[in-house]
Amino acid sequence: MSTQSDGSKGDEKDEEASQLLPTRTPSDGGSDDEEAAFESREKISIVHTDALDVTDDGATVLPFSWKKLWLFTGPGFLMSVGFLDPGNLEGDLQSGAIAGYSLLWLLAWATVMGLLIQMLSARAGVATGRHLAELCREEYPKWARLVLWFMAELALIGADIQEVIGSAIAIQILSNGVLPVWAGVLITASDSFLLLFLENYGVRKLEAVFAVLIGTMALSFAWMFGDAKPSGKELLMGILIPRLSSKTIRQAVGVVGCVIMPHNVFLHSALVQSRKIDPQKKGHVQEALNYYLIESSFALLVSFMINLFVTTVFAKGFYGTKQANNIGLVNAGQYLQEKYGGGLLPILYIWGIGLLAAGQSSTITGTYAGQFIMGGFLNLKLKKWLRSLITRSFAIIPTIVVAVVFNTSESSLDVLNEWLNVLQSVQIPFALIPLLTLVSKEQVMGVFKIGPILERAAWTVALLVIVINGYLLLDFFFSEVRGLFFGSFVCLGTAAYLAFIIYLIAREGALSSRWVKLMHIKQQELTPQSAFPLNKF
């Protein structure tokens, strides 16, 4: 008799759980025949146990397994490449050369903020079985999602130009200047197609390639770190003691602004779907989120160490020198060579190898993200090679034009990089606001919608990043915008830009009503709202 009672109770709980989990219906914009981020045969199978089912007290049993952690390892490392692209490396070297060790604490906290945002992206992908671009297509009216798609594509093109040119500079270094930048651009474009071809042999093969590229970066920049021998005491003080001066504001803004890449937010929600997870099973979803948190944390720890190596090498060699304000991605290798000289392997080539690995890995993830962004927003049903060709052409054609036009001097490429950083900053709200809106909605996330504490933290981080990047934009425009016509054009564009951001925030009370609720009904946070405690975090 007791067995029958327990069984009926379990059935009731399973039914209640299924009602609180997100579902896909044609009215929501989804359909069963819609093209998925990964086909079923491409996904890695995860063996689950019955212990993951909902228990009588509403909790889930999630026994840790090193084997399962290994199976879930991969998406976080592909995501971490967004923290290691050539644009980030340029921000690192300029931060070290101009601010010394003083902004290492900010680099650490910016990485933590990036982890929070990326885990919300992963949460959306695992809990709904759809990636962020698909969710945006279902959530917003046609005109709004087309604007979001256009902004995402602009962000991707801007990031890809930086990444491809970074690879081209590395190829120029490693070829002793024989190959010009435009030739390196063409080589990088073809390389990304070749490496993406590995996806046909399984997701694990592609993830292994990224492991090699990230390992190459780590080894190269650790070697540079060992050659430079930075001060351990100053390094530790830089991480533990927050310091900021008026002379390093711009570098501080750059450190935070480089961490959250708009296309990376879209990418992570798709990458986590490379594992077979049934979004209708609460325990399986929670297990996946737990393992992805561990994996992503370790991946971003590695990325933090690589960024730290680059920052401290340039802090040791160039902080307080006359060259500090003149160092950029183009001439960094030459400055390193003049400062530290040769050795068993000249530091110029060590830098070139690390930069090449950063550029190659980030261009591949950029192409990957482009497939998901275009396919998700526009619901295109194209073969993967065709989607790759289209999305790659979107970025590579402007990159070749830019490489030819701006390859006249080092200063012109540095100016280009500043404009591209501004472009990235402009796009950040159009990834963060939809993400935070969606993961806060029970209609989308079911029981896995974020709770009040995490919601407050996420919106605080998002607003902080948006304000910081807004400062960067104002500073840049005040120093660069000249002429009545151009100034009027910028003002009109800024007005339209702010109006769309206000629309995204105000739509369904995305922020205001939530913030009021969070501030005035804090006592209700401590009151269980359902049998599932996951809703609170």
Q: Report yes or no: 437 and 400 within 8 Å, Cβ to Cβ.
A: no
Contact 169, 414 (CB under 8 A): no
Q: Which CATH number fits domain 80-480: 1.20.1740.10, 3.90.930.12, 3.40.1350.10, 3.90.550.10?
A: 1.20.1740.10
> What is the structure's pLDDT at 1?
43
Residue 275, SS3 per DSSP: strand
| Cα end-to-end distance, the chain, whole Å | 37
pLDDT tens profile 445-466: 989 999 889 989 889 888 888 8
What is the pLDDT at residue 111? 92
| Token pair for 346 | 């000249």
Task: State pTM to two decimals.
Answer: 0.83
The neighbour count for residue 123, using CB atoms within 10 Å, is 26
Residues of the chain by 3-state class (helix, strand, coil), percent to 5: 80, 0, 20
Buried b (16+ CB within 10 A) or exposed e, 423-435: bbbbbbbbbbbbb
The per-residue pLDDT for 407 is 62
Distance CA 359, CA 303 (A): 14
How much is the pLDDT for 530? 41
Residue written as tokens 């579902």? 23
Distance between CA atoms of residues 528 and 381, nearest Å: 43
Neighbours of 485 (CB within 10 A): 8
Percent of the chain exceeding pLDDT 70 equals 75
**Residues facing 275 on adjacent strands:** 44
Q: What is the DSSP string of 22-78?
A: ----GGGT--TTSPPSS-GGGSBP----GGGS--TTS-------HHHHHHH-SHHHH
Q: What pLDDT sits at residue 411?
A: 62
Query: Which residue ranges of the chain lie beneath pLDDT 70?
Result: 1-42, 48-62, 191-196, 199, 342-344, 384-385, 387-388, 391-392, 394-396, 403-404, 406-415, 418, 472, 476, 480-483, 508-537
